Copies of this chain bind each other. A is one copy, B any other.
Amino acid sequence: MNTNETKNELRTEGKDTPNVPKAVINRLPRYYRYLRELLAKGIGRISSGDLARMMSVTASQIRQDLNCFGGFGQQGYGYNVEYLFGEISRILGAKEGFSCVIIGAGNLGCALANGSTFARRGVTPVALFDVSPAVVGTRVAGLPVYHVNTLEKFFQTHNVDIAVLTTPKPAAAEIGRRLSALQVGAVWNFTGVELNLNPDVILQNVHLGDSLMTLCYNLRLARNEID
């Protein structure tokens, strides 16, 4: 199968893809991680049963999830790990080559700029924005830090797909409005503020506090059982 065929197939399937349940889409990155691990171990094929045990889900869930995208498994053979990994990478846009700006050059913004999360997902940060005179004009992870007042000017001359929002809460709503007006493709929102964006803008919220609450719940539960 050459690349053009793959692209055409994808485009045809694309019309149906919005019907894929959001829960399945949210699970795909997890498949991506486990398959990458199998690849790294040199494992070429895996049954839905073995993959299920590895991921602590049912084999039937795995078959259902992967069927949503046309089903890559073969009866009696299982899944070809490399092919499945390639397909999921492509579906998730892992090699898409998006650009992003990070708004808020505090600890979290700098952690993201310095980390490997973007590079591993094919996203390239091009600049940071902040208001503090202590950081505006400096460089973080080799990237320029501009004043947030120059955001509109920057968008005029640069192609920005994604805005990563790590500002303090009070600044979030206004920046959200400006990003909507700038017709940014997507906002990755770490502020914990519910943003009211233009419906065309993809919004992905990260609520670290939710994860911490789940941890606390499980910890309390474990300790009650010990009592």
Interface set of A (CB-CB < 8 Å, partner B): 10-11, 14, 17-18, 25-26, 28-30, 32-33, 37, 91-94, 96, 98, 106-108, 110-112, 114-115, 117-118, 120-123, 161-162, 185-186, 188, 194, 200, 202, 204, 206-225, 227
Asked whether A92 and B213 contact (CB < 8 A) given A107-B111, A186-B218, A222-B200, the answer is yes
Kindly list 5 other residue pairs between chains A and B, CB separation below 8 angstroms, not including A17-B224, A185-B223, A186-B216. A18-B225, A30-B207, A33-B209, A108-B111, A120-B209
Report yes or no: A214 in contact with B123, Cβ–Cβ below 8 A.
no
CB distance from A207 to the nearest CB of B (A): 7
Residue of chain B at shortest CB distance from A205: B211
The chain B residue with its CB closest to the CB of A185 is: B219
Q: Report the copy number of this chain in the oligomer.
A: 2
Q: Is B206 a contact partner of A211 (Cβ separation < 8 A)?
A: yes
A218 neighbours in B (Cβ, 8 Å) = 25, 186, 202, 204
Q: Using Cβ atoms and an 8 Å threshold, which residues of chain B touch A161?
A: 219
A204 contacts which of B11, B211, B227 (Cβ < 8 Å)?
B211
- Decide: B216 and A18 in contact? CB cutoff 8 A: no
Q: Is the CB of A222 within 8 A of B207?
A: no
Q: Which of A25, A108, A211 has the most CB of B within 10 A?
A: A211
A92: chain B residues within 8 A (beta carbon): 213-214, 216-217
Selected contact of A216 from candidates B17, B115, B123, B222, CB within 8 Å: B123
Q: Which residues of B contact A224 (CB under 8 A)?
A: 10-11, 14, 17
Interface centre among A26, A37, A106, A111 (most CB of B within 10 A): A111
